Structure 1
């Protein structure tokens, strides 16, 4: 076989960082790129997020024949890019934030839930990077792919499959070229709401020539970051603990927060909590627009009325501030107004952790006002032991760990391992 017709994989970004993977699979003149995120590095304190600033700081990959020519000044090469597509595994910014930089001649596929959520998340223009020459809140066209249905991109076939992560609607990808099968996990775990989806993903991708797998859990080798150590071992136990806090504190103000895309957790909290759960109006609007669910909500002082929210579900903000027994409500601002001695549950909400400079000042503010802070986490990422199980389930010939500060800590018991450098091109022998 002529070398130019062999499957090639190019690793542009997100290899030794938390998030930001940009990887291309090519066969002859057919190309698929995934994901489209920005590496999260708030410590850089960038003056702007212009295209060139992101490239210079390696927050996105320097991918040729991919970005909008209004940004690069270079039209896509017809000879190089005869058949092309891009894919996003889930809505988290380290996998999706740069999607508007994609040239609009390139089709962009996601799972159906991700496709419905991304425009809603960006409706105020504060979620995604802006597209060149478009309004701030513009979101480029996204194709909501049918799950488990092959998609033809020239000589390449894509199959988007259900997976499990703490972002609602997360998927994985199986890529088939005429000579190879490659699986990309996106972000993945076995302790979420749908381990059976991951098992099915492993079965479908079994014996793949290459498995590209996130290995976030190995980023802190000197600390114990197993689920058993940090908190609940799975999402069900996390909900049980939230319920138990309410049972154990019948006369105490209890508030909480979660990350916006962790929709299944929010729905379970609402379903199982003894108290009435009340969300911020912005969060209620997101749920209504993205999945059509109506929930109880409140407005912060000065917030504009949101017409699509049912007026009969509104709870007065001052009622919540005074409450000690009836409500479990989402606190998003005015933390200094929470009752002294109250309980606040931070459940994988922003600020996300100690790596974010905003995290410690946030915790300090609560403690200064005598608010007890409970960090109730359940990771969206597989533990070290689960990663090994996932690898054995796929049984890949070549393992490529990415999305980690220490990918070298992940071994392949089934074959060889590749630790690519940025911009490295790998061609199967």
Structure 2
């Protein structure tokens, strides 16, 4: 298929939080971004009890609608039983996938792709993925054919030019993309926020995108609410409200809680937020408590951070693995490099420790002296009410008498911040997505386009319209 115009299709993420998948084709070249999965634990068919099949993974994900039926991206052997879908071997287009950041709702489906398809991520993102892969957090399916791209360095797929532009999100390596063809250009923001550690990146991204020039702005709108919920119009405002927790304040709030806690300090975080891991390590100096990570997070810190002043938790299961000689090499290397902490150490001096506890390892709490302790829930899973596991966590903490403190901040811009960035970019055409209510984000000057699935949009003469 050789197109003489630029064709855009929206495959996922239009009215969902995540799952954004969009293709841009010019002549016989095509770029697809992102390739994530929609996170909906309450409604997902894979509920943790249904066992995923290893040999039919791609077939199952396509058949269940978890990834879209896109021609020319899947291996023939993976989709042989799916009628009407062309395999990568049967498609002559040059295709590449570009990933904005390493959250599952933007990259969780990239293992479904044929290893023949190059998948471009920024340098930091590749480094983080390879670290996560080692500790068992690889994507299902094939190992992606990862390629590094670099901030502000343009690369090409056919005649399509892609320029990664750094933005601030709660994961390292995050970027937006400027995507240009001879017919026009798109700026895709990816996910971003103004209340993070690097708000200057957003202003710089605005400047860079306008410098490169674009016709269509594809923009996230995660925090947008229905007009009946929000009860107000969205006005552009870049200021940070007092009630909004800024990323730099998260660790300060943790410190304040620890100062008032006479027992064990515990924290539940998402270790893909590597900068927060770094902030927690620094708490040893201000809190006087030894910072203790589970082995997986310790490996992330060991590989990606210069800060090494932490200990590792050794559970009974880890000791059993070690005795049996089945401990993976990466775990063995951590045990040789870092101080060990066991339950007996913490129980002898609870006030001397600040210890990680993830939801999946919650039964470790039964071995710890948690009297007068504090459980700091800082954006670690389960995140909230929409996840059935969240209620299970609350039930467990109540049962053992452990007080929970919610201290965290999200990775997505507030509605007034979205509007501020929108008006600064001032696009000809706005496509809001990654939102339950994208219609709430309306440009003052440009045209609002709410695209449809299974429709084709054409870019020509620096405009975009439905075919």
Tell me if TM exceeds 0.5.
yes
Which residue, out of 453, 459, 463, partners 1:422?
Answer: 453
Q: Does 1:281 align with 2:295?
A: yes
Choose 411-420 or 187-196, whichever is displaced more.
411-420
Indicate the SS of the match to 2:192: coil
Name the Cα RMSD after superposition: 2.5
Residue 427 of structure 2: aligned partner = 396
Q: Which residue number corresponds to residue 440 of structure 2?
A: 409
- The equivalent residue for 2:112 is 101
SS in 2 for 1:362: helix
Tell me, yes or no, if the aligned pair for 2:13 and 2:19 is still in contact at 8 Å: yes
Q: Which residue of 1 aligns with 2:121?
A: 110
Cα deviation, residue 322, structure 1: 4.2
1:320 aligns to 2:320 (yes or no): no
Structural mapping, 1:150-169, within 5 Å: 150-169=154-173
- 2:366 equivalent among 319, 324, 336: 336
1:421 deviates by 1.7
- Counterpart residue number, 2:182: 178
Check if 1:54 corresponds to 2:84. Answer: no
SS in 2 for 1:216: coil
1:77 Cα offset (Å): 6.4
Distance apart, 1:350 and its partner CA: 0.7
Q: Hey, what's the Cα distance between the residues in 1 that align with 2:99 and 2:458?
A: 23
Q: TM-score, normalised by structure 1?
A: 0.90
Following TM superposition, by how much is the alpha carbon of 1:67 offset from its aligned partner in structure 2, in angstroms?
Answer: 2.0
Which runs of no fewer than 5 residues in structure 2 stay unpaired?
Answer: 81-85, 323-330
TM-score (norm 2): 0.83
- Whether the 8 Å contact between 1:16 and 1:406 is mirrored in structure 2 is yes
Does the 8 Å CA contact 2:20/2:106 hold for their aligned counterparts?
yes
Mark the CA change 1:181 to 1:427 in structure 2 (over 3 Å): closer, same or farther: same
Task: List per-residue Cα deviations over 1:139-177 (Å, max 9, x = no partner).
Answer: 323112121101011111111121111122211111111
Distance change (3 Å), C-alpha of 1:65 and 1:292: farther
| SS class of match (1:245) | helix
The match for 1:373 among 400, 404, 408 is 404
Other-structure match for 1:248? 260
Report the CA distance between 1:224 and its aligned residue: 6.6
Corresponding residue of 2:83: none
Quote how far apart the aligned CAs of 1:223 are: 5.2
Please give the secondary structure, in 2, of the residue aligned with 1:157: strand
Paired residue for 1:6?
5
1:301 and 2:316 equivalent?
yes
- Alpha-carbon distance between aligned partners in 2 of 1:311 and 1:167, rounded to the nearest angstrom: 26
Number of the residue aligned with 1:216 = 222
Report the Cα distance in structure 2 between the residues aligned to 1:312 and 1:48, rounded to whole angstroms: 36
Are the equivalent residues in 2 in contact too, given 1:231–1:376 (CA < 8 A)? no
Q: Do structure 1's residue 190 and structure 2's residue 194 form an aligned pair?
A: yes
Query: Which consecutive residues of structure 1, in runs of 5 or more, have no partner in the other structure?
Result: 132-138
**Which of 229, 235, 242 is equivalent to 2:247?**
235
Aligned to 2:79: 72
Question: 1:203 matched to which residue of 2?
Answer: 207
How far off is 1:291 after superposition?
4.8
Say whether 1:362 aligns with 2:393.
Answer: yes
Equivalenced residues, count: 418
Equivalent in the alignment of 1:84: 95
Is the aligned partner of 1:258 residue 2:269?
Answer: yes
Structure exhibiting the larger radius of gyration computed from Cα positions: 2
Is 337-346 or 152-161 further displaced after alignment? 337-346
Query: Deviation digits for residues 328-361 of structure 1, max 9, x if unmatched?
Result: 1111322334413321001000112111111111
